[in-house]
Structure 1
Amino acid sequence: MSKIFNVAIVGCGIGRSHIVEGYLPNADKYKVVALCDLNQERLDKIADEFGIERRIVNFDDLLTMDDIDVIDVCTPPGAHLPMILAALRAGKHVICEKPLVGSLKDIDTVMAAEKEAPGKLMPVFQYRFGDGIEQVKKIIDAGIAGKPFTGTVETMWRREAAYYAVPWRGKWKTELGGVLMGHAIHPHDIFTYLMGDIARIFGRVATRVNPIEVEDCISASVEMKSGALASFTATLGSADEITRIRLSFENVTFESDHAPYNPGEKLWKILPRNDEAKSKIDALLANWQHVPSRFQTQMARFHDALTGKGDLPVTSTDSRRSLELVTAFYHSSSTHQDVALPLGPDHPLYQSWVPAQFR
């Protein structure tokens, strides 16, 4: 019988999805024993729904509870850093929603703390998981796809005034960014997960859809370290909603299912260039075992990592790569210059990409 880890969830917004998609399907691995939220009404509603008796309004109280193994941070982004650091210091394992923190300086602080902590830290990038993306990753890692040529990522979603009625959204101080940070961050992570590291980016951001502080439209030209080229486009003003990722390699082209919030679940189009590539792919994917999507698989693989049966499915290094892209994107847009990656402490936006007037 596998070890069951006791979990405390902080934030009852996306935290509810963690329960429904992540912890309930993995009931042999986790038990949610506590919920924490500043809003007592929301806290009681979610706790009643799932029969959770321990209801906490002061985050610090969780740190002293010896029976809690994992603290799952689902608060607005601006609150992540102190909670992550405090939970690691308290010896807890930590799961944290995206974006992990609000600057490269902060992620480097977290990574340093992580090295000294007994617990493990897992950022959330639940879009990575599911049959579709798993098959593509397997083909690429097996070397069948060959040299990468080009890629495109389109994040075409829709957000209107009701979405920004939630007080922390659309504001630099609490959301830390717009479509680039809170929405396209998922498809962009999928892209680098499959295609590797970015070498250079020339990006643009604009606010065109809603009267908010942060951006809701972006576009970029990207050069990969492999030499492949790519383009990123995103908006929160689309009439319909799709997430579309298309990757062209030497021996095969892949295209995602267009489901906006779960592009990894359904099988992707896999278009071999020739019969040889097709035969290799067919052999590799024979007797395929189903991979559940989103939080279910990410939480299951986190359990494997906690029990020594596997590696962390998402790491702080993955999170840094994501935030490095965000930093370069904002810098390129404000300076109208091409930006080379990686970015270190000498970069002008290392301490924060948030405009000075909003800090």
Structure 2
Amino acid sequence: MPKTLTVAVVGCGIGRAHIVEGYLTNPGRFRVLAVCDLDSARLDALAAEFGIERKTTVFDDLLAMDDIDIIDICTPPSVHYSQIIAALAAGKNVVCEKPLVGSLSDIDEVIAAEGRSKGKLMPIFQYRYGDGAQKAKKIIQSGIAGKPFVGTVETYWQRLPEYYAVPWRGKWATELGGVLMSHAIHNHDMLMWLMGRPKSLYGRVATRVHAIEVEDCISGSLELASGALVSLTATLGAQEEISRLHLAFENVTFESSHFPYALGDEPWRMVPRDTKVQAEIDALLADWQPVPRRFAGQMRDFHTAIVEDGTPPATTAEARAALELVAAFYHSARTRQEVAFPLGPDHPCYRTWIPQQPQSRSA
């Protein structure tokens, strides 16, 4: 039997999905001992639903629980930094929803704090999990796909006015960004996970769909370190919701499923250059074992990383890359200039990309 790790979940919104998809699907690996939320009614309901005895409205209560192995942070983005730092200082392992924090300076401080802690930190990038994405990753890693040429990443989602009725959404101070931070960040992470890190970006952002402070439409042109060229597009005003990666390599072209919230799932189209490449793919995948999807797969692999003292399946360095792309987008859009990577402490958006006087667009 695997070692059972104990969990405290903070935030009963997306936290419920972590319990249902990530922890209950991994029996024997995890046991949720405590839940925390400022809304006592929602807290009571979640605790009752899953028979969780410990419940609190005070985050610090969890830090004092010596029998908690993992603190799973599912709170609004603006409080992630302080909660991550406190949990790592307490020696806890940490899971945290996206966006991990709200600036490059914050993520660098988090990386340093993780280095001092006995705990491990895993950002949530659940769309990497599912047989479609995992097969594509294996083919690319094997070298069969060859040199990357071009790609497109589309995040066509819909958010209606009631979505922004939640007080912290749509505001720089609390959401820390718009479609780049809270929605497209998953698909952009998938691009870098499969095709590699960026070299430079030219980006545009706009607020066209809702009367909010942050952006809800973006378009960008990206050159990767490999030389591959990629276009990025996202909106929250689509009438049909899809997520799509279309990546052309020397020997294989990959097209993801179009499921907006399950990008990693099959079917992925994988078109080989010829029958020889197809035979190599068939041999590589001949003994394929199904991969648990979304949170189930990511939490399973995090358990292995903790128990075997390995690297988490998604790392703080990868979370930094996702935030670096966000910072580059905002800077490029405001200056109308191309931005080169990496972005270090001397970059104008290193400490913050939040504008001095945010304005809501008129409805």
TM-score (norm 2): 0.98
Kindly provide the CA deviation profile for residues 214-255 of structure 1, in whole angstroms up to 9, marking residues without a partner as x.
Answer: 000000001000000000000000001000100000001000
AA aligned to 1:341 is: F
State yes or no: 1:188 paired with 2:210: no
AA aligned to 1:253 is: T
- Quote how far apart the aligned CAs of 1:3 are: 1.1
Secondary structure at the counterpart of residue 350 of structure 2:
coil
Hey, what's the Cα distance between the residues in 2 that align with 1:197 and 1:278?
27
In structure 1, the partner of 2:153 is: 153
State yes or no: 1:131 paired with 2:126: no
Q: Which runs of 5+ in 1 are unaligned?
A: none
Kindly provide the CA deviation profile for residues 137-190 of structure 1, in whole angstroms up to 9, marking residues without a partner as x.
Answer: 000000000010000000000001011011111111111001010000000000
State yes or no: 1:64 paired with 2:64: yes
- Quote how far apart the aligned CAs of 1:310 are: 4.6
Percent identity between matched residues is 62
Q: Is the 8 A contact 1:157 1:260 kept in 2?
A: yes
Hey, what's the Cα distance between the residues in 2 that align with 1:60 and 1:298?
26
In structure 2, the partner of 1:286 is: 286
Hey, what's the Cα distance between the residues in 2 that align with 1:304 and 1:53?
26
Secondary structure at the counterpart of residue 91 of structure 1:
coil
AA aligned to 1:255 is: E
Aligned Cα RMSD in Å?
1.0
AA aligned to 1:156 is: Y
Q: Is the 8 A contact 1:133 1:267 kept in 2?
A: no
- Quote how far apart the aligned CAs of 1:311 are: 2.9
Secondary structure at the counterpart of residue 161 of structure 2:
coil
Matches within 5 A, 1:232-247: 232-247=232-247
In structure 2, the partner of 1:43 is: 43
Q: Is the 8 A contact 1:34 1:54 kept in 2?
A: yes
Q: Which runs of 5+ in 2 are unaligned?
A: none
Q: Is the 8 A contact 1:173 1:358 kept in 2?
A: no
Hey, what's the Cα distance between the residues in 2 that align with 1:198 and 1:22?
31
Hey, what's the Cα distance between the residues in 2 that align with 1:38 and 1:279?
55
Secondary structure at the counterpart of residue 254 of structure 2:
strand
Secondary structure at the counterpart of residue 145 of structure 2:
coil
- Quote how far apart the aligned CAs of 1:104 are: 0.2
Hey, what's the Cα distance between the residues in 2 that align with 1:265 and 1:82?
34
State yes or no: 1:25 paired with 2:18: no
Secondary structure at the counterpart of residue 290 of structure 1:
coil
Hey, what's the Cα distance between the residues in 2 that align with 1:302 and 1:123?
10
AA aligned to 2:156 is: M
AA aligned to 2:152 is: T
AA aligned to 1:351 is: R
Hey, what's the Cα distance between the residues in 2 that align with 1:20 and 1:64?
25
AA aligned to 1:113 is: A
Secondary structure at the counterpart of residue 344 of structure 2:
coil
**Misfit runs of 4+, over 3 Å:** none
- Quote how far apart the aligned CAs of 1:358 are: 4.5
State yes or no: 1:77 paired with 2:81: no
How many residues are paired up?
Answer: 359
In structure 2, the partner of 1:306 is: 306
- Quote how far apart the aligned CAs of 1:265 are: 1.2
Secondary structure at the counterpart of residue 26 of structure 1:
coil
AA aligned to 2:17 is: S
Secondary structure at the counterpart of residue 331 of structure 2:
helix
